[in-house]
Structures are given as structure tokens and as C-alpha cells.
Amino acid sequence: MTDTKTLTLAEIEALSLRALIAAGTSEANAAPLARATAATEADGVTSHGLAYIPIYCEHVQCGKVDGQATPSLTQPRPGVITVDAATGFAHPAIDLGFEQLIPLAREQGIAALAIRESYNCGVLGYHTYRLAEAGLLGIGFTNAPASIAPSGGSTPVVGTNPFSIAAPGEGGEPALLIDQSASTIAKSEVMKHAREGKPIPEGWALDPEGKPTTDAEVGLKGSMAPSGGYKGVGVALLVETMAAAMTGAVLGIDASPFSGTKGGPPRTGQFFLAIDPGATSGGDFAARMTALTAAIHTQPGAHLPGDGRAAKRARARRDGVAVSIATLERIEAFLG
């Protein structure tokens, strides 16, 4: 008996939408999150795909996120847009901001979007990818509840705090998509191993005393290992500055966990920069990016960040995605 079932991307989106609405999310808020879930599954980032739908549903029901929230937008300066997510899902708040960010960046050459009172935005690269699709260089930051300790310390002060950059390319696909966290691995991967009772590779997480561990549960009680040691801590601090300090969002040290039901809304933030390459590159941005990517792709075995996701995305659009039966059963439980 197989432990997976193949679903089309449309089926994944529809199932996500139904579950979120059944849990108490408005259709307007559920729709962008369902679309993102299907896209995430297509990219092969299963830890942030359907596996997260039961968590989202649980968080709506316990009040960690307001499924009925209405985000509000202001424009305090000509090139700056701010969105208050009102403790709702990040995705509808980002959608609202992008509706003005994209035309504003095209008009002015550059524009910024700051989002506060927000929640887990899923895969950050999904959002910068959309800016690249619109012909803009997209740069994104999002902070998370504290899980990385400072160099020489053992108490977490910053989150895994991803950043992403997506450069526009031909045919609507980014020429380059970098999406990486400040930790060696995303915390959701450790959570996934803990749920499945599997050990984690050494180097992913540290125990409460700051020592390496292969026990996922122990790692979740300790801290995430920063990527590149002190350099990873520096990246996390950079992202914390951009996504929390610059947006007015809650710092990771004060944010409630993205997992479990303890605490109220995390109230974290996101920050995006959208830049029109034509405004800064002298008109040869595409040629330079082609030369840059070709220098990598012409090397046997070499690949660019984002190549793996692009290949999986094309395959998923054609063949669908194999999803865990156990995950589907957890989702079905919210449908009654």
C-alpha cells in the first residue's frame, strides 16, 4: 500500500481552500494562501506546503491568526507602502501591497513595502518570484520567532529569518532566485522530522546547552544552528532589522511561536524592495544576467540557486505532486 497520493496543483489548491474556510478563514484570505500552498508543493518545498495547512487551520481556531482579518494599506511617502496585516495571514496582506508596489516601482524605478502585525509568510521566494515575473528585481525579508542564539551564547534572540532575491528573466521565469534562511536548515524541516519521529542530521540544530544534536525534539527545545556560524547570525540580524525594526513589527524575541497553540498572534513582519532594472542598469541588465548565469550553467554539474525548484515546478505542472496520505488525513479532519 502506497503512503502517497498524486494530486494536481489545482486539486492541492482546492483542498487547501476548503480546509482553510472550514477552519474559519474568509475566502478572501484563504484564496491567496491556497494558491501559495499549491505553488510551494510544485517547487518541492513540502515542509511549507500541504503539511502546513493543518497548522494554519489550528491557528485560526485557537486565535493565533485572525482568519477574518482585513489588512489595511497606507502610503506615507511617495515610494513607500505600508500594510497592517491586522494579525491575519501574511499572504493577503502581501497581495494588497503588491497591487500598488509593482506599478509604483515601474513608475519610480524603486519602491518599498513594509508589512507589520503579520504571520508566517510561507516560502519567501514565492513572493519575490512574483516580483520577478512582473519584470522587477525583488528583494524580500521576513522575521520569525527567536530560534538562533548569538555567537558565543545559547539563548535564541533572532529567528531563522530568510531573505530572498529574484531577478527577472525571459519567459516569465526568474533568471536567478535565491531564497535562504539564516539557519543551516529551515526550522520547519526540524519540525517535520519531529512530527515523523525521525532524527535530524548533525549540524541542523543545537541542544539547550548549545551542543549539536540529532534529536529533532531536543533541537526544537534548544536553538537552530546558524548557517556559516557567526555569519549566519549576521544575516539573521540584517533580516531582523529589515523585517521587524523597519516595519514596526514585533522582534523575534517577543514573537509567539509559529508552531503549537501557545501565545497569541506572532505579529512578525515582512519587507520588500522592488526595483526596475531598466532604471539602473543602462539597459543591459538582461545581457549581464545571461552572461552571469551562463558562466555557471556551462560548467558540468554546476547549478544556480532556484534551478532545482524550477525543474520540479515544470514537472509538477505536467505530472502533479505525490503528497503524503497522512497529511491528507490531517487536512480532511478539518473538513468534518
pLDDT at 243: 98
Residues 12 and 48 in one domain: yes
Whether residue 135 is contained in a domain is answered as yes
For the chain, give the secondary structure using H, E and C.
CCCEEEECHHHHHHHHHHHHHHCCCCHHHHHHHHHHHHHHHHCCCHHHCHHHHHHHHHHHHHCCCCCCCCCEEEEEECCEEEEECCCCCHHHHHHHHHHHHHHHHHHHCEEEEEEEEECCCCCHHHHHHHHHHCCCEEEEEECCCCCECCCCCCCCCECCCCEEEEECCHHHCCCEEEEECCECCCHHHHHHHHHHCCCCCCCCEECCCCCEECCHHHHHHCEECECCCHHHHHHHHHHHHHHHHCCCCCCHHHCCCCCCCCCCCCCEEEEEEEECHHHCCCCCHHHHHHHHHHHHHCCCCCCCCCHHHHHHHHHHHHHCEEEEHHHHHHHHHHHC
Please tell me the total count of domains within the chain.
Answer: 2
Residues 234 and 101 in one domain: yes
- Which parts of the chain register pLDDT below 70? 1-2
Looking up residue 310, the CATH number of its domain turns out to be 1.10.1530.10
Residues 317 and 261 in one domain: no
pLDDT at 192: 84
pLDDT at 191: 85
Whether residue 214 is contained in a domain is answered as no
Residue 240: active-site member: no
| First-to-final CA distance of the chain | 25
Catalytic residue among 13, 16, 41, 47: 47
**Gyration radius of the chain's alpha carbons:** 19
pLDDT at 266: 98
pLDDT at 259: 86
Whether residue 78 is contained in a domain is answered as yes
Residues 4 and 110 in one domain: no
Residue 48: active-site member: yes
Catalytic residue among 16, 189, 223, 240: 189
Contact present, 121 and 36 (Cβ < 8 Å): no
Catalytic residue among 13, 16, 41, 48: 48
Residues 231 and 328 in one domain: no
Residues 250 and 128 in one domain: yes
Residues 322 and 298 in one domain: no
Residues 311 and 292 in one domain: no
Residue 13: active-site member: no
Range of the domain at 316: 1-62+306-336
Whether residue 204 is contained in a domain is answered as no
Q: How distant is the alpha carbon of residue 255 from its chain centre?
A: 17
CA-to-CA distance for 332 and 336, rounded, in angstroms? 7
Whether residue 196 is contained in a domain is answered as no
Determine the residue type at 176: L
pLDDT at 118: 98
CA-wise closest residue to 38 among 55, 16, 58: 16
**320 vs 18, 45, 229, 307, CA distance in Å?**
19, 14, 38, 19
CA-to-CA distance for 193 and 184, rounded, in angstroms? 15
pLDDT at 188: 80
